[in-house]
């Protein structure tokens, strides 16, 4: 968990298994054959300490040194040049809670070789909006957006 926490009125199932029905419909809509899991909250320091070094992490940082997300993602794309399926590489984007991650929480990870702090521009975004904005940038630069779902691929005439 991050240092800064703001209580919200979003529904959070206290029993993580009880929230499965909230994950089932979106999984079915996306054509997934499995329902995504949800884990117990983990201290941010413990998360970073156990992070696999081969999995690049791009934490969204509202303050301090951070590269524009598009610039950082283009660099990652250049590293992937020639890869058959670059969107399958182990990577992650991390957004903080409402109010953002504390500068002290980003100090230690900034020095790790697999961490690249990124910024989402000059606006302060809500945590849910920041996650969607980061994923939209990710998909636009690194994603498989040129591919079509099998059921929606153009049919030969």
Tell me whether residue 88 is in a domain: yes
pTM over 0.75: no
- H/E/C letters for each residue in the chain? CCCCCCCCCCCCCCCHHHHHHHHHHHHHHCCCCCCCCCCCCCCHHHHHHCCCCCCEEEEECCCCCCEEHHHHHHHHHHHCCCCCCHHHCCEEEECCCCCCCCHHHHHHHHCCCCECCEECCCCCCCHHHHHHHHHHHHHHHHCCCCCCCHHHCCCCC
Tell me whether residue 48 is in a domain: yes
The whole-angstrom separation of Cα 3 and Cα 97 is 9
CATH number at residue 50: 3.40.1280.10
Q: Which domain holds residue 80?
A: 43-144
Q: Give the pLDDT of residue 132.
A: 93
Tell me whether residue 6 is in a domain: no
Tell me whether residue 21 is in a domain: no
Q: Give the pLDDT of residue 8.
A: 43
One pLDDT digit (tens) per residue for the chain, 157 residues: 555 554 444 444 455 656 677 778 888 888 888 887 777 778 888 888 899 998 999 999 888 889 999 999 998 888 877 776 666 778 899 988 887 888 888 888 888 999 999 999 998 889 889 999 999 999 888 887 766 666 665 666 6
Tell me whether residue 30 is in a domain: no
Tell me whether residue 155 is in a domain: no
Q: Give the pLDDT of residue 86.
A: 65
CB 142 within 8 A of CB 86: yes
Q: Give the pLDDT of residue 17.
A: 59
Within 8 A by CB and 6+ apart from 105, the residues are 2, 3, 44, 45, 96
- Per the structure, the count of domains in the chain is 1
Q: Give the pLDDT of residue 15.
A: 57
User: How many of the other CB atoms lie within 10 Å of CB of 91?
Assistant: 18
Tell me whether residue 138 is in a domain: yes
Tell me whether residue 76 is in a domain: yes
């Amino acid at each position: 968990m991050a240092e800064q926490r703001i209580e919200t009125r979003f529904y959070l199932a206290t029993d993580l298994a009880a929230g499965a029905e909230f994950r089932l419909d979106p999984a079915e809509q996306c054509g997934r054959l499995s329902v995504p899991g949800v884990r117990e909250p983990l201290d941010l320091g413990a998360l970073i300490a156990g992070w696999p070094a081969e999995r690049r992490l791009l934490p969204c940082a509202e303050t301090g040194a951070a590269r524009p997300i598009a610039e950082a993602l283009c660099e990652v794309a250049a590293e992937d040049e020639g890869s058959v399926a670059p969107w399958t590489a182990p990577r992650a984007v991390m957004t903080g809670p409402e109010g953002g991650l504390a500068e002290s929480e980003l100090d230690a990870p900034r020095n790790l070789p697999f961490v690249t702090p990124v910024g989402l521009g000059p606006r302060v975004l809500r945590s849910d909006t920041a996650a969607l904005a980061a994923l939209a940038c990710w998909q636009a630069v690194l994603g498989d957006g040129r591919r079509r779902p099998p059921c929606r691929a153009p049919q030969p005439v």
